[in-house]
Amino acid sequence: MDPRPLLIDTLPFLSPRNALDGLTPVLAERRVPGAPHAIGDIVAHLAFWQHGFAGRCDGTPGPMPPSAATGWPAPEPGAWDGLRQRFLDGLERVVALGAAGDQGRRLDPPIEIPPLADITVGDVIVHVASHNAYHLGQVVLLRQMLGAWPPPAGSYTGVQCASSGV
């Protein structure tokens, strides 16, 4: 399996880079009434879990969060550009793990959560891709609600798709 189409050059949905492109720190931090998270919160959550799972794959593991709430670190105000880049760099890190040719290798040490105790590097790639897709859908919805959609490169809509290459 080539992890790049799952994580970076996605086809079923707009790429993560494009989905986040053009967001200012103000928009990334703005709360939409009724929504539990701002876009920056979601991207901090994605970066947190990518980093944790990649650490388990490359031998630099940290402890698993004791609760779901601790998997949602609060981003620093005004730190959007760095946070966005950390998330995108994390995608490259996970792709590199998949390109290393050991996708069948079980994580060591294993994850302490029973359903994840026997997962492989390849399983992590699919898990991260699925998790990202789920939350990037939330980002798209929040962008739409904030009037910040489509991103500068366009989106998957009619003629834009054919003319913009996305």
Mean residue pLDDT of the chain comes to 90
Q: Which domain holds residue 31?
A: 4-164
Residue 111 has pLDDT above 90, yes or no: no
Residue 157: predicted pLDDT = 60
3 secondary structure, DSSP code: S
CA atoms 113, 107, 2, 18: torsion sign: positive
Q: Is the peptide bond before 150 cis (omega within 30 degrees of 0)?
A: yes
- Distance from C-alpha of 27 to C-alpha of 166, rounded to nearest angstrom: 23
Q: What CATH number has the domain bearing residue 142?
A: 1.20.120.450
DSSP characters over 54-108:
HHHHHT---PPPSSGGGGSPPPPTT-HHHHHHHHHHHHHHHHHHHHTT-TTPBPS
* Higher-confidence position of 93 and 62: 93
Six-digit token string for 143: 């962008």
- Distance from C-alpha of 64 to C-alpha of 49, rounded to nearest angstrom: 10
Residue 84: predicted pLDDT = 98
Residue 126 has pLDDT above 70, yes or no: yes
Residue 159 has pLDDT above 80, yes or no: no
User: How many CB atoms are closer than 10 A to CB 60?
Assistant: 9
**Cα-based torsion angle of the residue sequence 109, 113, 117, 122 in order, rounded to the nearest 10 degrees:** -90
The burial of 148, by beta-carbon neighbours within 10 Å (0-12 exposed, 13-18 middle, 19 or more buried), is given as middle
- Cα distances (angstroms) measured from residue 155 to each of 67, 143, 158: 35, 12, 9
- Distance from C-alpha of 165 to C-alpha of 36, rounded to nearest angstrom: 33
